[in-house]
Amino acid sequence: MRFVVIGPGAVGGTLAVRLVASGRDVTVIARGEHLTAIQAKGLELRDPGGARVVRVKALDDPGAVDWSSEDIALLAVKSQDTAAVLRRLAEVAPVELPLVCVQNGVTNEPEALRYFSHIYGAVVMCPTVHLRPGVVAAHSHPVPGILDVGRFPCGIDATTVAVAEGFEEAGFVSQPIDDLARWKWAKLVTNLGNAIEALCGPAARSGRLGSMVTAEGYAVLAAAGIDHASADEDRQRRSNIMSLHPVDGEHRPGGSTWQSVSRGTATETDLLNGEIVRLARLHGMRAPLNELLQRLVREFGLTGTPPAAMTEEEVLAALAN
């Protein structure tokens, strides 16, 4: 069984290195300077235990892969890039290709079903960083993260079990789950705070804004009649598994949206906070805080504003206006 990691960034890159180190056959599909660095020097993973570099086959396009029935594709690009990647992948890969969405958000798996018949998702709890070409960092040690796997929209089959076992052998905590969608919706609410980190810094996520955006997210899910894992279930699943530490003397600077803003690249905000906004509008209500966060993150990208350039009080003042 070969794993093909499409998008070896923070999460995908950490997964690729650990899968290679566990003896798995791995190919990665990357782009730009990151691809060049991997091809020249290998893919480097830095964590609190040290650093390791693996040599891995790195390609620039799904069409360069000689796809077989034994392959499993791990889609680890940001959600805003999913549609384009799937269109290209569908041109060169068989419709039966098992595809696992190792991504935040709830839109990736439904989109993938347009092109492929065997779709799986992972509930990603993996505090990682990718800011330099060829290098990723994992701040949780000794367990780098939790990657529970389920078939979409629900169910467990042999592939679900095989993927979870592969993740476990690579050092992650992973188990097959039969209610994937329920857990993905819960994770979406958690990820609503990513925008707050990007705008105000990580500390603001646990403050008043964080509480408000979480409450607004749950209220919209309730109005939409969407079942989701509870906050207590989420805390219990994470409990005593991950432990964050500095890497090379530095604490994790911020989550995935913070990193995108720092790199000056597109963010997932329209597929995270924007999903709550979309649901609210569909059900005759508003999600004003999520609307604001979505707009402010977009403005940061358009103006090249660095992360954490606003205070929590400034965001609250803008909400009041």
Residue 98 CA to residue 96 CA, distance in Å, equals 6
Q: Which CATH number is 2-178 given?
A: 3.40.50.720
Neighbours of 24 (CB within 10 A): 15
The CATH-assigned architecture of domain 184-320 is: Orthogonal Bundle (1.10)
**Residue 195 CA from chain centroid, whole number:** 14
Give the whole-angstrom CA distance, residue 194 versus residue 207: 13
The pLDDT-based confidence of 69 (bands split at 50, 70, 90) is confident
Spell 103-123 as b/e; 16+ CB within 10 A means b: bbbbbbbebbeebbebbbbbb
Q: Supply the pLDDT for residue 47.
A: 97
Domain range summary for the chain, segments of one domain joined by +: 2-178, 184-320
Full strand arrangement of the beta sheet holding 135-138:
50-54, 43-47, 135-138, 128-132
For helices 312-320 and 208-224, the axis angle rounded to 10 degrees is 50
Provide the whole-model pTM: 0.96
Beta strands 119-125; 57-59: pairing state: unpaired
Q: 208-224 and 180-191 helices cross at what angle (nearest 10)? A: 150
User: pLDDT digits over 291-308, tens only?
Assistant: 999 999 999 999 999 999
**DSSP three-state, residue 221:** helix
Token pair for residue 316?
Answer: 């609250």
Residue 228, classed as helix, strand or coil, is coil
Q: What mean pLDDT, rounded, does the chain reach?
A: 97
Residue 29 host element (H or E) = strand 25-29
pLDDT tens per residue, range 80-132: 999 999 999 999 999 999 999 999 999 999 999 999 999 999 999 999 999 99
Contact criterion met (CB below 8 Å) for 315 and 199: yes
